[in-house]
Structure 1
């Protein structure tokens, strides 16, 4: 999380970079405004705003949009706004079990172009080659400067972009960020796919300062935003809920344990059980899966005092019976002061969240915008 104790002095260049990011962040979220408006919103002096606006304009990051329309006293104000076409970001989502998905994303979060490659059970170096090939195609298609490449991958990923462990892709200690930097020579930011999805919700949907995003796909993971800050944990393992044991008599997991949450609710396993059960038992299978998720989430929600949980996954699985069972289980296993305030919703654009979140990886690191 954010540093709580000041351990070094702030240098002038740090202040300038902070103020640049503050202006870009304000325009990103609040839209075009005049220099005077920007000074009021940011708290900076008009002189500082004018100086920074000129600098950002010279870099092409913001542009003049003409005068404000409508009835106003005095000279019409000149509006400035974020130039969403100044750069592109190449975003990769490696979370699905059957394909890798990529996109070219503009600075405002719009998806300019989308592409995918079938995974075809590729693992190890073969999976890396598919990811690099997908990125190469997208880089060629970008028509403006590239701000960087963002990659969302399942597994445990440290702050340097090293995939410490991703069993489903057979990656261990893989410096994925360095692989992409060597290939493309641009800034590369790699993170966990669930963390990316949580950042997408935080940046583009504004759900509040604290929530948990549970991503249900090939695996299961969670992204935690607490007080407006992404929580990654001491060893980059925050949100690794997929291998919490929820049923000791359950099926054997790839991690070697029996009855992990991933075995209970990950899309391939859940769909297989639904096929085997038939229509008559569909609701029971979904209720059991939702109950398993509730078992895993109840202590987390109680420990953190969370109200909001967002589920990202196929709507035909997580909507209705599954969600209701998960929420009922949380409420039955926590104090009323905790459980009664708990809310669970489903993300509207689950299929794009990781792509948008990996774009935020780049925007936050390179421009200070999230």
Structure 2
């Protein structure tokens, strides 16, 4: 196949960082750990010599040579030519992950009107983009996801490493959608069905959990942060000590239906009054702004920011987080809303301890699609 989407991406991600594991590396797992370590280092640092890799990873040159030979044979790593040197001796050969030799398909099911999908490079660059109208749910929703995946796969001019899907709702670690009311799915085996239909590795996770991986891997996020995704609903993804948190019920970050205050509030779709989602979802905010007088617009955004601050204050204090990142419409979130949330957070946490917590808007576009790419990279190459 002809991979002609352009040259190798010049983007490098700086010092290698990865999602830490709390599991001790046993001797029988050492080779897998070493494979992931080498690929992780190449992914973030770009082209390096075998000697560079040995120094950076602490692995012996014999181990590096063995692993690199295996990667080249598998088509994961390629030699990029020699490094220019002025000193004596044979110039070193540079190697890198074959960034142009594979693609990833990412799918985002969280949009209000459409399912969005993209064909991505290994660096998270969107190469092709497609979407399908959002069905009512159930079987029709699955068929739409499958058709979108098929179309994106047909566009690829290079082997596809895997398919990542970010779905709203509670998603188990094996890709079983336990509950997604917006898609009318309960105990729906989306990952298993798609993997069998596409004959490819498929990873399905909650959309906010996908988004937080993108912010961590491709953004400038700190090692302990909360990403709040504001769209049709409100959800969150968590990273603590470079470790993603999903919870024993796979529901960590399900903050949309936490009641933020004892003063009632707008009726939520779940039937209760005053849920965070009823104050903060994009559709709710736009409707409230449309119904308000022009001079009341800022008050609506301020009110939503205060409720956000109320909702995140206990999370910041419990987990000692350093950063809150918001993903959603910038015209709603940036400015008044973030300022109100920042002040409320300071007022509701221990004075002098959390004053430096930052609440900011993500700079990333396509954050769920890029997070889906990270899911596949992590699963297939051990890279994050």
TM-score grouping bracket, smaller chain normalisation: over 0.9
**1:59 correspondence with 2:89:** no
Which residue does the alignment assign to 2:89? Answer: 74
For residue 105 of structure 1, report the CA deviation from its aligned partner: 1.2
**Partner residue of 2:241 out of 227, 230, 246:** 227
Distance 1:338 1:128, change over 3 A: farther
Matched residue count: 365
Q: C-alpha separation between the residues in 1 aligned to 2:184 and 2:273?
A: 20
Q: Aligned ranges for residues 296-315 of structure 1 at < 5 Å?
A: 296-315=311-330
Distance 1:279 1:73, change over 3 A: farther
Distance 1:72 1:208, change over 3 A: farther
**1:37 correspondence with 2:52:** yes
Paired residue secondary structure (1:338): coil
Which residue does the alignment assign to 1:97? Answer: 112
**Partner residue of 1:333 out of 343, 348, 356:** 348
Residues 55-106 of structure 1, C-alpha deviation per residue, up to 9 Å, x if partnerless?
A: 1011111111111135445332211111112221111011111111101112
For residue 5 of structure 1, report the CA deviation from its aligned partner: 6.4
CA contact (8 A) 1:305 1:338 kept: no
Residues 91-136 of structure 1, C-alpha deviation per residue, up to 9 Å, x if partnerless?
A: 10111111111011122222221111121x5222222221111111
CA contact (8 A) 2:171 2:250 kept: yes
Which residue does the alignment assign to 1:137? Answer: 151
For residue 2 of structure 1, report the CA deviation from its aligned partner: 6.8
Which residue does the alignment assign to 1:10? Answer: 26
**Partner residue of 1:252 out of 267, 279, 304:** 267
**1:272 correspondence with 2:284:** no
Q: C-alpha separation between the residues in 1 aligned to 2:382 and 2:23?
A: 21
Q: C-alpha separation between the residues in 1 aligned to 2:157 and 2:203?
A: 21
**Partner residue of 1:209 out of 211, 218, 223:** 223
Stretch deviating more after TM superposition (34-43 or 168-177): 168-177
**1:48 correspondence with 2:63:** yes
Paired residue secondary structure (2:66): helix
Q: C-alpha separation between the residues in 2 aligned to 1:270 and 1:72?
A: 64
Residues 190-232 of structure 1, C-alpha deviation per residue, up to 9 Å, x if partnerless?
A: 0011111100011112422111111101111111011111100
**Partner residue of 2:131 out of 116, 121, 132:** 116
CA contact (8 A) 1:24 1:367 kept: yes
**Partner residue of 2:255 out of 241, 244, 257:** 241
Q: C-alpha separation between the residues in 2 aligned to 1:148 and 1:309?
A: 30
Stretch deviating more after TM superposition (136-145 or 23-32): 136-145
Q: C-alpha separation between the residues in 2 aligned to 1:209 and 1:289?
A: 27
Q: C-alpha separation between the residues in 2 aligned to 1:217 and 1:72?
A: 57
CA contact (8 A) 2:20 2:242 kept: no
Stretch deviating more after TM superposition (357-366 or 103-112): 103-112
Q: C-alpha separation between the residues in 2 aligned to 1:49 and 1:329?
A: 51
Paired residue secondary structure (2:129): strand
Q: C-alpha separation between the residues in 2 aligned to 1:315 and 1:70?
A: 48
Query: Any stretches of 5+ residues in structure 2 without a counterpart?
Result: 1-18
**Partner residue of 2:164 out of 122, 128, 150:** 150
Residues 10-39 of structure 1, C-alpha deviation per residue, up to 9 Å, x if partnerless?
A: 353x21111111110000001111110000
For residue 148 of structure 1, report the CA deviation from its aligned partner: 1.1
CA contact (8 A) 2:21 2:243 kept: no
Q: C-alpha separation between the residues in 1 aligned to 2:49 and 2:190?
A: 42
- Could you tell me the TM-score, scaled by structure 2's length? 0.91
**1:194 correspondence with 2:215:** no
